[in-house]
Amino acid sequence: MKELLQTLVELQALELGEVKIKNAEVTIARLRKKIPPQVLGHYDRLMARGKKGIVPVRNQTCTGCHLRLPIAVVMTLVHGTDLQLCDSCGRYLYLPEDALAEFLSQSAQAKTKDKPEKKKPSGSPD
């Protein structure tokens, strides 16, 4: 699944001119062949409307429409088990490596923060 998302990100960068390479048309054609027709069709519909087809998730927020995503969507992206669409704008979502590390560190901090402190029995020495 991560390979498919990476292919979509590369394709979008080439099609939007964010990355300049020689023989871009050949590379675009090669990338398009790797993407399933249903996914490519949805991506192309978004791009035809002037929207990006795939956007990163940062701070549990879709960077396409700037709305907060359910934690289940983000966790699916963390595990890389399925493609995820934003419920609001319909764009494909991916979690960049730096955002993944940030999300995991925030989750770890939240877990330690939520644990109750162990109380010492009364009458015991410090």
pLDDT of residue 44: 97
pLDDT of residue 98: 80
DSSP 105: H
What's the pTM? 0.79
Number of C-beta neighbours around residue 29 at 10 A: 10
Dihedral sign, Cα of residue 89, residue 90, residue 96, residue 98: positive
pLDDT per 10-residue tile (average), the chain, 126 residues: 93 93 93 97 96 95 96 92 95 88 70 62 60
Domains and CATH numbers, the chain: 2-110 (1.10.287.1490)
pLDDT of residue 125: 62
CA distances from 45 to 40, 41, 63, 80, 90 (A): 9, 6, 19, 24, 10
Query: 59: Cβ–Cβ under 8 A, 6 or more apart, which residues?
Result: 99, 102
pLDDT of residue 1: 84
